[in-house]
Amino acid sequence: MNRLGVAVVGLGVGAAHARAFASLPACELRWLHDLDPHRAEHLAAELGCGAPAAAFEAMVQDPLVDIVAIASYDDAHCRQVVASLLAGKHVFVEKPLARTPDELRQAKATWQQSRRHLASNLVLRSAPLYRWLKRAVDEGVFGDVYAFDGDYLYGRIHKITDEWRKDVEDYSVMAGGGIHLVDLMLWLTGGRPSRVSASGNRVATRNSAFRYRDFVAATFEFDSGLVGRVTANFGCVHPHQHVVRVFGTRATFVVDDRGPRLYDSRNPRSAPRLLDEAPLPASKGDLIPAFVESVLAGGDANQTRLDFDVLSACAAADRAVDTGAATEVIYY
């Protein structure tokens, strides 16, 4: 079998992408590109495969490249996704796949016309704890799920005040980080919110070079009655962590500083079940083997539609903050 040629752009998080692709027998890592050419040179030497590419466009036009992995800055994602799809490539892209309604429309239309596989690296789906939680929800352990709470505690304020995020026009902490919790909410429950209200501020970064809201709190309403609350808290004084609570009529799940646990009784003397599952994936490339399998099998359009639904929900939350009013979630 001919191996799938792979090109990777952006070698921060993208270095984990490159390592994952290089480890797969079905793939041949051909190109590495970064704004800092030394990164590509060093990673190619480390892996013993892949050649530094002078430009993104040169990689995309290589007829031996089947997959483009995109881990560049957020505001380059949509342009590079569209260019890769138009060149006939399958695309694995860091979140967010796109940032604005116009970008969402363009990316989705190009994907639908391309007949290529497209997936966003919403990597919490690969964490053992959330894979367990997904099975438990699907198997009815929780009964009827009526509430989801998720807090994205970034805990690395320097990354928005001193690094590239401060220079991205209209940077969104919901699309840039809170998206992981929005994704868990839709993926775990199998539903889509119809309305959202939200508010936010930039108190934590008001004396910095970061120009946008560093905190957003959004409340999502589902037609089923489910209510979801998600916060994107980039300025917090706290280690990086995802706090998640799932409330059902039969059980409650919580993961926070005390670790993951399941409550299946309202008796105050009943101890919760402690869960010995990792809340984080082993690496940022953990979804890549399944992505490659999907490419070889012909793609998973339902998964890609979920990625666009998650982005649509994040865009609606930002719109609700901007307008100060509850807004309909428009699915692009």
Domain identity same for 220 and 324: yes
Which CATH number does the domain housing residue 195 bear? 3.30.360.10
Domain identity same for 66 and 15: yes
pLDDT digits over 236-275, tens only? 999 999 999 999 999 999 999 999 999 999 999 999 999 9
Domain region containing 249: 125-282+312-328
Which CATH number does the domain housing residue 20 bear? 3.40.50.720
Domain presence at residue 316: yes
30 vs 303, higher pLDDT: 30
Total number of domains constituting the chain: 2
Domain identity same for 29 and 105: yes
Domain identity same for 262 and 293: no
- Angstrom distance (rounded) from CA 118 to CA 301: 8
The closest of 212, 172, 202 to 316, measured between CA atoms, is 172
Cβ distance 186 to 130 under 8 Å? no
How would you list the strands of the sheet with 327-328, edge to edge? 273-274, 259-263, 252-256, 241-248, 145-153, 227-233, 215-222, 193-201, 327-328
Q: Where are the beta strands (DSSP E) in 76-176?
A: 90-93, 118-120, 145-153
Specify the pTM: 0.96
Domain presence at residue 307: no
Domain identity same for 136 and 182: yes
The closest of 128, 131, 130, 133 to 145, measured between CA atoms, is 133
Domain identity same for 167 and 103: no
pLDDT digits over 295-329, tens only? 999 877 888 999 999 999 999 999 999 999 999 99
| pLDDT score of 1 | 60
Angle (CA) 188 192 198, round 5°: 100
Tokens of 50: 């892949």
Domain identity same for 106 and 140: no
